[in-house]
Structure 1
């Protein structure tokens, strides 16, 4: 096989991977903004700028798109925590996490926490297991936060992780319910002050 034949063979695969990636990113965004029940495959196709009929080549059902969206959220979280893990001090990693949460305050005020809102909505379904996948993304965050508290040496790092992540979910919910992004700012500042306080 010549180089040009090989490159022609890889081009369709790369194009297909790009389309799948577009659909996954669009699904994460549209499902967050509209919710699972109100979102159609056509909505996601439109947001991804892909013909609606082509979606079925990559995803057979809307649930598969929801699963892909959850994987997208998990990937974003992994990228963030990998970046924060480059900081040498765990307290600064946690502050960086809070700062990242606050930087998304406008989106949270409009739509809530991407994973939290999906988890709450999916929990109301009778079947499918997607609620458990959403729970895994939340668990991924909790485990990372718990490791940071463990490195700091606080008593009950698991409890502290639950408190911090619960505070984030609470401030996202209140910010969304009251359409007030400054709740995120104020609560984020408070959480950072608590981290700075002597143990």
Structure 2
């Protein structure tokens, strides 16, 4: 008799490589990261990397896709909350949860965007699309709050996050992120 239940499997090698690329690129930067670094983090033999990704740029693209999938999952979870203000405050809470990582390496998406902006290969536009998706979602939250200036408010919120991420990283002080999140929560409350 055979067991008809499916065997639960972890992510495949391609997915592990993409996730590892996002992580290693964040902690080491694009220029300093090698395919071997990513293979090691993904626990995949380095020779297997070339089966899935022929170049480091393809791995950077996969990391951008991983950022996009993470954002999609986060937005789906936030959209379960009852009000736009609740959703925006939960977004801030998620950023605060990452404050130690931000203090050490900066914002994962923002840091990658900044680094890729210095290149002329189009990857900067790919990571910009991820940030644009967050900006658009944030704008929708402010619009649902009845704000005619929803786009400007969304830009202000995302800019505040990127700015505090930079300062948190520069000064290696995660408390800066917590303090700014509290201020932004009060700001959101003042808009309702």
Q: Same fold (TM over 0.5)?
A: yes
Q: Structure 1 residue 104 and structure 2 residue 98: aligned?
A: yes
Look up the match of 2:128: 135
Counterpart of 1:193 in 2: which secondary structure?
helix
Superposed CA RMSD in Å reads 1.9
Displacement, 1:197? 1.7
Residues of 2 paired with 1:182 and 1:36: CA distance? 28
- Per-residue CA deviation, residues 75-106 of structure 1 (Å, 9 max, x unaligned), is 11110110110112111000010000111000
Q: Which runs of at least 4 in structure 1 moved beyond 3 Å after TM superposition?
A: none
- Per-residue CA deviation, residues 33-64 of structure 1 (Å, 9 max, x unaligned), is 00000000010001111111110000110001
Contiguous gaps of at least 5 residues in structure 1: 4-10
Q: Structure 1 residue 173 and structure 2 residue 166: aligned?
A: yes
**TM-score, scaled relative to structure 2:** 0.93
Residues of 2 paired with 1:31 and 1:92: CA distance? 32
Q: How many residues align?
A: 188
| Residue among 63, 67, 70 paired with 2:61 | 67
Contiguous gaps of at least 5 residues in structure 2: none
Q: Structure 1 residue 153 and structure 2 residue 149: aligned?
A: no
Counterpart of 2:40 in 1: which secondary structure?
helix
Residues of 1 paired with 2:83 and 2:124: CA distance? 34
Residues of 1 paired with 2:15 and 2:125: CA distance? 23
Look up the match of 1:6: none
More helix by share: 1
